[in-house]
Amino acid sequence: MKRILWTISSVLAALGIAAALLISLNLRGEEPLPATETLQSTPVLVQRGEYLARVGNCMACHTTQGGAPFAGGRGIETPFGVVHSSNLTPDRVQGIGSWTSAEFWRAMHHGRSKDGRLLYPAFPYPNYTQVTREDSDAIFAYLQSVPAAPDTNRAHALRFPYNTQAALAVWRALFFAPGTPPTEPTQTAEYNRGAYLVNGLGHCTACHTPRNALGATTDAKAFTGGLIPVQNWYAPALNAAHEAGVKEWRTDDVVALLKTGVAPQGSVLGPMAEVVFRSTQYLSDADARAMAVYLQGLPQQDRKAPATVAAPPASAMARGGKVYEQQCAQCHGDRGQGEPGAFPALAGNRAITLADPTNLVRVVLQGGYLPATAGNPRPHGMPPFQQTLSDEEVAEVTTFVRNSWGNQAPGVGTIEVYRARERRGM
C-alpha cells in the first residue's frame, strides 16, 4: 500500500513539476500590464499605423469578402481544423475597442489575448513577436480609428485535442519564444531594416518555410520553401536560384516585383499576387529596397546535382504538344518564348520546372492573374481551363511545357491534377 501511495505521489509531483514548467514557459518575458492606457494617439501615429498594417497585410485575414474592413470572420483552414479571424475594429463588445495598447502589444508579442487566452499561431505572432512596441502602438492607434463593426466573432472549428488551451500551451512551450527585431551588427542599416520587415510584419517565413507535423517552422529551414497545405500552393525557396532566389537579380528588379508584381525575370501569381495587391505595392521605395537587399543577402542553398529525369513517353509529349498548340501557343508562342510585357516565356522559366508541379497545375486549372498595381494597373491574365481540359489533358500539356525548349523536369500525372481539383472543389 505504501508503495502504491508513493508511486501516486511521485506521479502527481512529476505532473505538478511539468505543469509549473509549462506555465513558466508560456509566461516567459511577460510583464504585468499597466492599469490604464498610456498611449496618446495622433494623426501622424494613425497614418503610420495604417502603413504598417498594410505591410503586415492584416486586412487579408481579418476581412471577409464584402464585409466591413477588419471585422474578422474569415475562415482560415489549417491541417487541424478551421480558425476564424477576429474582429479588430473598435467595437467595444466584439472588437478591440475595450483593449489598451499594452494588451494589443501582448497579443502581438506574446500571442495572448486580452482575457489571457493563448492565441492560435494562424495569427502569425511567431513572426509578429519581432515587431517593436512603437510599431505595435501605431497599428493599434490605426485600428482604433477605423469604423467600428459589431460583427460577432465566430468560434474556431478545430479537432480535439488541438481545440484545447492545454495542447496550445504545449505547442508554444516547444516552438515559441518571444523575440526581438533581428539585427546583424556587420550589416548595413538598410539590410537590417529589410530583415525586420521580412521576418516581422512581412512574415514571409510563414509560407516560404516548411512546417513539421505540428505546424511549426524552424529557423534552420527558413526560406527553403514549403507547400501551403491550406491553399495548396507551393511557396518556393527564397534562398535558391533554381526556385525563387533573387540573389543574382538587379536590386531594382526585386523592388519592381514587390511593388508591381512584374519584373524582367518573372511575375507573381497565386497567393503571392494577393500579397502584392494588398500589401507590398504600398511599400515606400526605401522599405521595398530594404526588403530586396535583405532577400538578396540570404545565404544560398547548396544545390544538389540535378537527378537524371527520364524523358516522358513520346506519345504523351505529342498529345501535350497538340493541346499546347490549340490552347497556349497564341499567347506563349510556338517556342514558349512568350511576349515581353504581356505573356511570360515558358522556355527557361524556373516556375515551370519546380520539382513540385503544384503551382503549374493550379495555374492551368484556375488561371493566372497578376495583381493590379499602381505600377501595372492593367495586367494581362491567363484564363482558367478547369472546365475545358480533362485531367489527362492538363497532365499532358504540363508535362509538355516542363520538357520542351530546353526545360527538363519530371512529368505530371493525373493524380496530381486530381488533387489540385479536389482541394478547390473544381
**Is residue 29 pLDDT above 90, yes or no?**
no
- CA nearest to 371, candidates 264, 282, 243: 282
pLDDT digits (tens, 9 = 90+) for 47-84: 999 999 999 999 999 999 999 999 999 999 898 999 99
299-308 CB contacts, 8 Å cutoff, 24+ apart: 299/239, 300/239, 300/240, 300/241, 300/245, 300/247, 301/224, 301/237, 301/239, 301/240, 303/240, 303/241, 303/242, 306/408
Which band of pLDDT confidence, cut at 50, 70 and 90, is reported for residue 426? Answer: very low
Give the type of residue at 124: P
Calpha distance 332→338 (Å, rounded): 4
pLDDT given at position 425: 43
- pTM reported for the whole predicted model: 0.90
Does 104 score more than 60 pLDDT? yes
| pLDDT tens, residue by residue, 341-391 | 889 999 999 999 999 999 999 999 999 899 999 999 999 889 999 999 999
CB atoms within 10 A of CB 106: 23
Q: Which domains does the chain have, with CATH numbers?
A: 29-175 (no CATH), 189-296 (no CATH), 314-424 (1.10.760.10)
The stretch 94-99 carries a mean pLDDT of 97
Q: What is the pLDDT of residue 305?
A: 56
